[in-house]
Structure 1
Amino acid sequence: MALSYKARRRWALFILLIGMPIYIVVAVTIVNRVDLSALPRLVQFLVYVVLGVAWVLPFKPIFLGIGQADPDAEDQDP
């Protein structure tokens, strides 16, 4: 079942306002427990880049087309 445009917008807003801060706290906590400071800086950088991009991959279908006009709305020409 495909989500409507309005439902995808609502889910995207929820993910950005609630889910992303939770993900950041969890990711930073895990990274601090693993203690990446012993690794070379390039490896640390790559870990942070992967963690920074990984959160969006499961939500890609929700975020696709959100910045465009509602395709289900009727044209509002004056």
Structure 2
Amino acid sequence: MRGELMLKGDEESAPLLEEAGAKRWSYEGRSGKPVAMPYWTIPDEALDDPDIMAKWARIALDAAMRVTEREAAQRR
């Protein structure tokens, strides 16, 4: 992940990211098993097209907002 731009994902955006070829970031946990994080690589199609990148940035922002809203609701 070092030096790589990532997008925030959630259960709603994950299928879209997977379909576009993005890879989910994970690391090896203490038990030796992979731990999946809610961050994804940028789909290749977005790297050279600002309009497509803007679409993915919006999807990532929406995912982050949904997570924030859920966390706020849980604190109430």
Measured against the shorter chain, the TM-score band is 0.3 to 0.5
TM-score calculated relative to the size of structure 2: 0.33
Higher helix share: 1
Flag the structure with more relative contact order, 1 or 2, with Cα contacts below 8 A and sequence separation at least 6: 1
Which is strand-richer, 1 or 2? 2
